[in-house]
Structure 1
């Protein structure tokens, strides 16, 4: 099991290491704040990998929740990075930060858990969470993550829902990326074998928009971007958005 987890972490790290440099030019085009945000993400990777830990890690659900709660702190960090530097200097710092992060992510062996700025976390969860952050940043300046990073971010969001709402009442499907089973606030049947009677299916773009709060459940329903069956399936709307930052 440990070897399997390590292989999965190495694959996730390689995906993130490949994605980072592709966002440098779009961020530079978008301006100082976008560059500073990209720097903050890259430097967070390097800093965390420098501090491995044996402390019991928090879950990815707890990690994303903690990030949302320290939004003002993260904004202050980004402003501090941008302050006093022109765009050329910021671009150079971003390139350097990305190179350092890539080196850290491809170091062997990788630690199973690290100390992030919100506490101890499994490295695989930190990578997944930062991939979500990169997706949000890319969306801000009109770019998209590559397919491997997109899948990584969407799976992280689905796992977060699964952790926050455990159960077997609703099956949430995002083909071809992932599928998870969720509870229904104690109101629905608990299904033990096969497919639950309540199913929600949507496409990756809609799932991303719902999880990040850029699309409401009702709007997605009105635009026929959801396929919903079962009396409890609409309770997924109460679980969204996943992140509020």
Structure 2
């Protein structure tokens, strides 16, 4: 895992940090989840660079992107960041992959900006929304891990909390970088998980969409998946057996096999 090359760009009026994994194929942009700095997706970027040019973003308030009390951490601001990044860095509309919160950000950006992306892959997007069941990962659990990392006790907390342990190198990397996440951004993301309507964004998207779900963890239920298919009859659905929400870390072999098939469907 070489970690890609890190750069900063000013886009949407803030400093956005990203990792670049050069490749000759179709450009791919990854938007990670709620407390996942870009570095935690380095192994995915390394793999994708065999067939694609890949960018992995630090969402505002995470990793080395701009953070602080002056920032709006809401969904619309994050979606505007993504649009500005793509407008600045991509010469052609890329394939966008969003995981968890990143899937919600990507869906909002692509729904509101036709032509922004060639296609969209949603990895286990939270389906909570007004009037729907809550996001199954409690806020207290996420904050507990973050605060443990800020105290310098992240590795122990991660090991104790993981039902499906990550490989040791990724666990250590997670413990190192978790403390970079702004707690205010976590609160804002959870508020938007329950206050914003993901299904409305999904229905408005005008490009091909694939949905990749974890078999375990309960983030996307079978009823959720079928509702999404009802909104988008052409939706491609894949479910990865034996993994939870952090599929890209828990079992990379299974994850990469499924994602590779999905990406082949979106080639142009």
> Which structure is higher in strand share?
2
Highest CA radius of gyration, 1 or 2? 1
User: TM-score by structure 2 length?
Assistant: 0.27
User: TM-score by structure 1 length?
Assistant: 0.29
> Which structure is higher in helix share?
1
